[in-house]
Amino acid sequence: SWYDDTQMQVKAEPALALLGGDADGLAIIRRIIDEAPEHLYPGAALCIECDFRQVDQISDLLRRRGFSNIGIRNDLAQHPRVVWGFIDV
């Protein structure tokens, strides 16, 4: 629902990357989080750049999938922008 209000430079990104494939925009991110542990070494981190309105949901998805030490980093405008978590196994 926020896509129409985004700035033009944001809309230069591929629409699928911004819209995410379902109503809440997290279908692709859910799949990445779900499948990432099969491709990461123990101690590796998965970092996801996202809209600041999605950081809490993504943090929760990481936590439920077993990632630890979940963190959030702000962008230059001080909006939460990157969420990460470490895989333990």
Q: Which residue has the tokens 């990460």?
A: 84
The percentage of the chain sitting over the pLDDT mark of 90, rounded to a whole number, equals: 61
Residues 88, 41: Cα–Cα separation, whole Å: 8
Residue 1 has pLDDT above 60, yes or no: no
31-45 confidence digits (pLDDT tens): 999 999 999 999 999
Nearest in space to 36 (alpha carbons), one of 69, 7, 74, 65: 65
Burial of 32 (0-12, 13-18, 19+ CB in 10 A): middle
pTM score:
0.80
68 neighbors 35 (Cβ within 8 angstroms) = no
